[in-house]
Chain A
Amino acid sequence: MDESTLKRAERVYFEVSHLHANARRAALDAACAGDAALRAEVESLLQHSAGAREFLEEPALGTDFRLLTGVDAGPDTMAGRTIGSFRVDERLASGGMGTVYLASRADADFDQQVAIKIVKRGMDTEEIIRRFRAERRTLAALDHPNIARLIDGGVTPEGQPYLVMEYVPGMAIDDYCDSQSLDTHARLKLFKKVCDAVQYAHQNLVVHRDLKPGNILVTPAGVPKLLDFGIAKLLTESSPADMTMMEERRLTPEYASPEQIAGVGVTTSSDVYSLGVILYELLTGCRPYVLKSRTTAEMERVICEVEPPAPSTAVMRPQTRVGPGGKPETAATPEAVSSVREGSPQRLRRRLRGDLDNIVMMALRKDPARRYASVEQFASDIHRYLCDLPVIARAETPAYVLGKFIKRHAWGTAAFSVAVGLLIAGLVFIRAQRDEAYAARDQAERIADFMQQVLGAADSGDTRAMGTSASIPDVLAAAAARAQVDLAESPRVLAAVRSVLGRAYLGLGMYDKAEEHIRAGLTLREDILPRGHHDIAESKLDLAHLHYARGELKEAEGLLRESLAVHQHQRGEKNQDTARVWNDLGAVLRAAGKIDEAEVACRTALEIRRAIADSRDTIEIAESLNNLAGVQRQKGNTAAAIVSLEESARIRKKLLPHDHPLVVQSIANLAILKAGAGDLAGGIELMREALPMEARSLGLEHPDYARSLSSYGVMLMRIGRLDQAEEPIREALRIRRLRLEPGDPGLLAGVDAMARVLIKLHRDAEAEPLLREALELAPRGTERAQTYRASITAELKALYARTGETAKAERLAGEGAAPAADERNAVPPSDGNP
């Protein structure tokens, strides 16, 4: 071949290599018209484009610089030799850690085939042998039908360590699934078996550390077998102080977790992650990441930072790899991928969207603490999916994703520079106007709102959703510090910024910080503005919200009434802001148990808002209706409450995106109300609708989500679906224990529900400590509280009667004065109030 032939072949090759088969043929016809030799050359090259993808990508030396010295890497003439009590038959495979041979027992009558892995020379032999001796008992004890057994191990006369393992004739799991054209369901069932095996190993304190399809073979009978359990640790863990580079180079980067790549501790969670990558690949036919090279920097960048597309998204894209000129080129089409799975790309996408997306992505989270807590939990979620039950996995909330984004790009400061800059511009604007006109104030407010948007906290719903994800408070703290310096000369804008910060902290539930900023804003405003100024009233309103959030209802009510007076005086009654104060007052009064006053406040807010809206539907009207429903329900007027709430839900559904937190709130509240009115089936149905939405918008560990989850469980319990009731109630309690203070009624509600479902499941031993806890948490004083305490005491007594613990029952005597309430009344107040 000469240079010009090569150049021509190259040109045609790049013209056609990214095309699909048909288009490629046509393009080849055109490009090679009449030149059969050229065409043959290009076609021959095209056959190698897939094979060459990984080819030469790993630099020749790797870490094995021994190759440079001419020290013999070991003769490859093992066939026929005897190792231990086995005779080597043939070579099976070579990998980073050594070479695997097929061997059979040399001395026995029966025919036992084994795989012998001979560790590559150049690895730290002594250390491996020492570690092997330490771990062989553990590894040999792994006795599971889906784990290839470790049979023996030792050192060859040449000093090379070797391991003898059960020989598994089979295909790598991904090839197996494709060759059998298994659908998603069948793939999941197979994968679940793999998870069970990994979980078994974890229970025996063995972490795999190098899970990949090549290590999971499926026998012709369809039985998956995991190879090389614990071997990675045996072979790659250097002395504790120096375990980074070796491990990093030897493991398979595509399946390695971020913590493995970063060289920090490897735990069972790393196996969860690797399993997540494998499941991703089984379901979509592609890996979550494309590594452009195998350099450390690239691996770190991609595996530790890039968020992979959800599986349902990935299957609609033609799979790409880095092609010539750095441009992506097609490796597999959606049609090809789906043809061995669900038939068509659309079907596959529908199958994956939602639960399966969430399950896979949860396993793939960068932060081990945010993944499934164990392989068992991962497997259970798959099991739940296969049984059409709600799954634990939830998509990351938009706020969480945004928070990460801000953190990753160090945008916090940049965005805040913009926000603060705009605030300063706002100040200039205000000064230029030289008046206190609404326009100017609105301008400043819009700027402040923008700042909140920067935080991903455009409204209170989203702010709640954010929880205490790490980055947002950091960003707020940075903004606070910056505002102090940059806005020192502009107290009025500084006050506005501090108010915004206070509100943001309030949304995050960081009350002390919130108070610091809200009070600072208030003080500044009182210093520079005339008494009774609207901005001062605004700050007081913020303070009222803070008190309300802390349950300091008296203080909240006082401040709201003060604000109300200012608003009524300055704005008049028929005013949006005045209506808001009425609305907030209604909520505070209701919480304080002043139901009649609360109803007046809620109705007043509703009337003002209706009058302003002029027979249009508005979000504010929906809010007032929602709150009114709460009051109506508390007054025992459930039918009226349902009417109000249905109207509220209708408006919110009409005006808001379908999974907006407020829509979800309406649906969840309606579910609880309907169940309370005896319509359990209706309640359950609505709650099924609300739960995934709530999980998405609030996050998986939000107290409001826990409330819904718990209510859902209680409803299931009431209709006798005990098997389904336990899990949501348990999860809700977990969240509440995590997020709520001991005095919170939600915690009591959670403990109560858990105890009751356990009693129904005849698990008295588990229920007893919970009932005792409920008694400790339960308030005293009001009649309602006493009735509740009595019901718990009665449950405990009944339990002790069943278990024969009469002595304990006696000790409860003092509590048992009131008659046992029926279950519905006995559910403590919080799990049901809209």
Chain B
Amino acid sequence: MDAPSNPSRGNMTILLSRAQNGDRQATEELFPLVYQELRTLAERFLAGERKNHTLQPTALVNEAYIRLVGPEATWENRAHFFGAAATAIRRILTDHARTRDRLKRGGGKQPVQLEEAMTVAQDVRDQDLVGLDDALTALTAIDPQKGRIVELRFFGGLTVEQTATVLGISPSTVIRDWQFAKVWLHRELVKNL
């Protein structure tokens, strides 16, 4: 496996520890590194480097983690890394979707059928993603914790327990918030169609 070019594993571990202790700047520094690593990895997979691999998002993130941090770090570090990765994935996905959306539709919004909006989870479509991103931003503005939970669960693919660890809250709170956030976002998405 290639060694990550930048930064060193030691640096990543320090960054993660700082992020874990609530250091906002560390979180911000972490993000572009994770973002870049995820993109690189995904491109490599596409380039056919591992043609026979199938991959889940968590596996992708995991690999990025091992490359950036090393295999032996603590679970807490890993959880925070996954947290950063969730944000990165959200950004990557919605950026692409926005670009494509503009190219395709020349700015005009095409209504989708209700049925389709409801199955957004199964088949992520560009306009749904853009809509979701907007709604999620709105939700985060009034309830940051719920917004973050959706980011971790939907974009990061984290389980309830993992989400709870990253946020330092109880799994039952995660479940409750997740439940409500889904209802709220669903309403927003359908409303805006």
Contacts and interface: CB of A to CB of B under 8 A. Distances in A.
A322 B175 contact: yes
Interface stretch (B9-17, B70-78, B118-126): B118-126
B54 A63 contact: yes
Contacts of B182: 52, 55-56
B186 A52 contact: yes
B173 to A, nearest CB: 8
Contacts of B183: 13, 45, 48-49, 52
B157 A59 contact: yes
A65 B154 contact: no
A388 interface: no
Nearest to B121: A58
Contact of A55 (B39, B120, B157): B120
B187 A48 contact: yes
Interface stretch (A1-9, A483-491, A511-519, A535-543): A1-9
A76 interface: yes
Interface string A49-69: 101101111111111111111
A325 B54 contact: no
A213 to B, nearest CB: 15
B104 A45 contact: no
Given A55-B186, A71-B46, A13 B96 contact: no
Contacts of A636: none
Contact of B175 (A48, A57, A64, A325): A325
Given A45-B183, A58-B121, A326-B175, A6 B154 contact: no
Contacts of B175: 322, 324-326
Contacts of A249: 54, 56
Interface in B43-70: 43, 45-46, 52, 54-57, 60
Contact of B46 (A10, A69, A73): A69
B179 A323 contact: yes
Nearest to A45: B183
Given A54-B121, A59-B57, A68 B93 contact: yes
Contact residue range for chain A? 35 or more
Given A56-B153, A324-B179, A48 B190 contact: yes
Nearest to A296: B56
A59 B155 contact: yes
A239 B52 CA distance: 8
B112 to A, nearest CB: 10
Contact of A238 (B39, B54, B89): B54
Interface residues of B, number: 56
A68 B190 contact: no
B160 interface: yes
B29 interface: no
Interface in A26-64: 44-45, 47-49, 51-52, 54-64
Contacts of B45: 65
A330 to B, nearest CB: 14
A106 interface: no
B92 interface: yes
A242 B54 contact: yes
B46 A96 contact: no
Contacts of A2: 142
A530 interface: no
Nearest to B60: A65
B159 A95 contact: no
Interface string B127-161: 00100000000000011000000100111110110
